[in-house]
Amino acid sequence: MRQLLQEHRPLTASGAAPSLRAAVVGLGRQATDDHIPGLLASDGAVMAAVCDENPDLLREKRDQYRVTGYTDFREMFAAEQLDLVVVTVPHHAGRAVIEAAAEHGVHVLKEKPFGTSLPEARDLAALCTASGIQLMVTLQRRFNPIYTSFLQLADQIGTPFVVDAQYTLHVEDPGAGWRGRAMSAGGGCIIDMGYHLIDMILWYFGLPDRVLADLSTTARPDVSYDAEDTALIHFGYDSGLYGSLLLSRFIGPKTEHIRLVGSKGIVHLERGRIRRLTNDGEVIESLAREQSWPSAATCQIDHFCRVIAGLRPNTSGPEQNLAHMSFIAACYESARQRAYISPRELS
């Protein structure tokens, strides 16, 4: 492992460098589509370095963005004066990067999930507290006005009693790569893509009192893998609200929605659109937005810079994401026991 090349530090349009120096570890699609464009548009941080173990990919991105490139994140933390790091590595590699960041006092913006298991998440939460760093899990939907308007509309539908949620897409081979192995991914569609919808359920309704989950690893019987391709999760609250959540890495076409039904109407949230309807389906009001995920990523990065500065609360920090990991752990334990499990008892 070696440092590849030192480049000059980029400046903002005004010619003055922002106060927070940032690095990106892991240069896969999530980084190049969301986090790097978000950093480049940020008012609060400047991208000073990138890191990836693939030297060819690293060289390409290093030259494209004119920043310092490293194949070893430990070397990067030792050589660079960084304020924050965006971590977008495979799930099993996240812990080591966070530990190295904490050792150097570097704040962490971590691509979901928080950890690969609830015990690991607890360890990381304790590490962040002990080292004094801020860690925020990337949950871009919280920075998109379509999603933030849900609760306002939900207040107008009387007493809510049922939730129908779905997030599905088609991956030809759900067993391919590290995502097909529970040991490296921590699980399948629940802990990976499902993390976003789980966040929305906890954001809107809180941690359920009970969950019941069934999992599939048989969408491709000709392929060997043990990370679930599909999950059907039932969840309930002692208040009387209950719902179901369908997650799949095999069922196409790509679909994402949450439908909340109340005594006086329905709120139907889709990717890019939210509607309030009567109980018989008549649209009362609708709000749509052209998708701009890099914009949401920029808002998230700028918010994190304010969190670091003490100007905003960290609403997606270790404490909050321990609830996410409790929900996920309850799903896997429920599937194992074939019984309802209380995530509150695990948290």
Ordered by start, the domain boundaries in the chain are: 3-141, 144-289+315-346
Between CA 118 and CA 50 the distance in angstroms is 29
Q: What is the pLDDT of residue 19?
A: 81
Give the CB-side neighbour count of residue 10, counting CA atoms within 13 A. Answer: 21
Superfamily of domain 144-289+315-346: Dihydrodipicolinate Reductase; domain 2 (3.30.360.10)
Between CA 89 and CA 113 the distance in angstroms is 11
Q: What is the pLDDT of residue 8?
A: 33
Residue 316 · residue 136 · CB < 8 Å? yes
Q: What is the pLDDT of residue 10?
A: 43
Q: What is the pLDDT of residue 296?
A: 84
Give residue for tokens 């998708």: 291
Low-confidence residues in the chain, pLDDT < 50: 1-17
For 182-221, how does the pLDDT look when each residue is reduced to its tens digit (9 = 90+)? 999 999 999 999 999 999 999 999 999 999 999 999 999 9
Give the 3-state secondary structure of residue 255.
strand
For 23-58, how does the pLDDT look when each residue is reduced to its tens digit (9 = 90+)? 999 999 999 999 999 999 999 999 999 999 999 999
Task: Measure CA 105 to chain center.
Answer: 23
Residue 212 · residue 233 · CB < 8 Å? yes
Q: What is the pLDDT of residue 290?
A: 74
Q: 3-141: which CATH architecture?
A: 3-Layer(aba) Sandwich (3.40)
Between CA 238 and CA 333 the distance in angstroms is 20
76 backbone dihedrals φ, ψ, rounded to 5°:
-65, -45
H helices of the chain, in order, are 29-30, 36-40, 55-65, 73-79, 94-103, 118-131, 145-148, 150-154, 182-185, 194-205, 293-308, 318-337, 343-346
